[in-house]
Amino acid sequence: MASRQQPPKKRDRTNENCDKAVKNIMWRCEQIRRRYGADVYVQVRFKSRHYEYTSSDKPDFPRSRAELKATYPVPVARSPLDYTERRSRSDVEGQSSVSSG
């Protein structure tokens, strides 16, 4: 009798996927800088790794939170709560499509 073998488990690619996502967002920041002449700053912390992209070498960029509170017009701030209704591909992949009728 042939024994049933379980398929090999997929290895955890979380680190590689995060590296790729950070690389993509940094490239997008560079495109925004080139296209619109905007100063862009992004910082990502994942586990013990820190990633940083800055388009400016000026010492006053990026500004601190205290400095931003004193600026006008008021900065547009976003948090995860602003995106609760927006779903990503990974959120949709695990769900089957449901037809309403």
| 5-49 per-position pLDDT tens digit | 888 888 899 999 999 999 999 999 999 999 999 999 999 999 999
How much is the pTM? 0.69
Is residue 86 very low, low, confident or very high in pLDDT (cuts 50, 70, 90)? confident
Instruction: Tell me the pLDDT of the chain averaged across its residues.
Output: 86
* Between residues 33 and 77, the one the model is more confident about: 33
| Tokens, residue 95 | 């769900």
